[in-house]
Amino acid sequence: MLIQKGEIAIRLMQDEIYDYELLVKWLTDAKVLQFYEGRDNPFPLERIIEMYKPMIGGDEPVVPCLFYYQNIPIGYLQYCALNDLSQTDRQLYHLDETDRVYGIDLFIGETDYWNKGIGTTILSAIINYLFEQLQAHKIVIDPHVDNLRAIRCYEKCGFVKVKLLPAHELHEGEYSDCWLMAIERKKL
């Protein structure tokens, strides 16, 4: 287990059919896809394996994880050191320095667990892990501007809006604006 704290646990995703099938369940759910990837962009098993197996194997810098609440798998999160970003990407993300800066992304795939404060607990746990164990100086995330539930969660955990990223991500056939949000180690 990567993180175990109270009723939540975060573990590294494994190259096992069970883990892939959890992602298939979540990334074919229209409610989840409305906020993550888009309802026009479901992920069947073959696509999940193709996309996530290289991450699990360490061939890509993204670290994929599953998280649990009361021993029930309910969601996915990933983190990545941003030290290899190009100068253009650094400017896009309003980052002068990317040394010890991590990007994160997460979603609760079991929609019955939305609006219960679990996302805030999970996010707080991964923030503490990145700052304490990996010595991160800053963590960034880029939610869609209309994902108000996620933005509230991020703000509760200490993230602040840094910059609007216009037409940043293709979502349901249109480029959507996103917020670049950040939290710095000193603010914990």
CATH number of the CATH domain containing 166? 3.40.630.30
Mean pLDDT lowest among 7-21, 84-98, 159-173: 84-98
Tally helices (H) and strands (E) across the chain.
6, 8
Does residue 29 contact residue 20 with C-beta atoms inside 8 Å? no
pLDDT the model gives residue 85:
66
Q: What is the mean pLDDT of residues 1-16?
A: 96
Q: Which residue has the higher pLDDT, 130 or 84?
A: 130
pLDDT more than 90, % of the chain: 74
Tokens 């193709």, residue located: 50
Number of domains in the chain: 1
Tokens 């995330």, residue located: 141
Nearest CA among 123, 139, 122 for reference residue 131: 139
pLDDT(39) > 90: no
Q: What is the mean pLDDT of residues 145-171?
A: 93
Give pTM, 2 decimals: 0.91
- With cut-offs at 50, 70 and 90, classify the pLDDT of residue 188: very low
pLDDT(142) > 70: yes
* Crossing angle of the two packed helices 17-26 and 45-56, in degrees rounded to 10: 120
| Average pLDDT over all residues of the chain | 91
Query: What token pair was written down for 43?
Result: 């992920």
Q: What is the mean pLDDT of residues 39-45?
A: 86
Contacts of 166-169 spanning 24+ positions with Cβ under 8 A: 168/142, 169/142, 169/144
Query: What token pair was written down for 141?
Result: 């995330």
- Domain that includes residue 120, residue range: 3-187
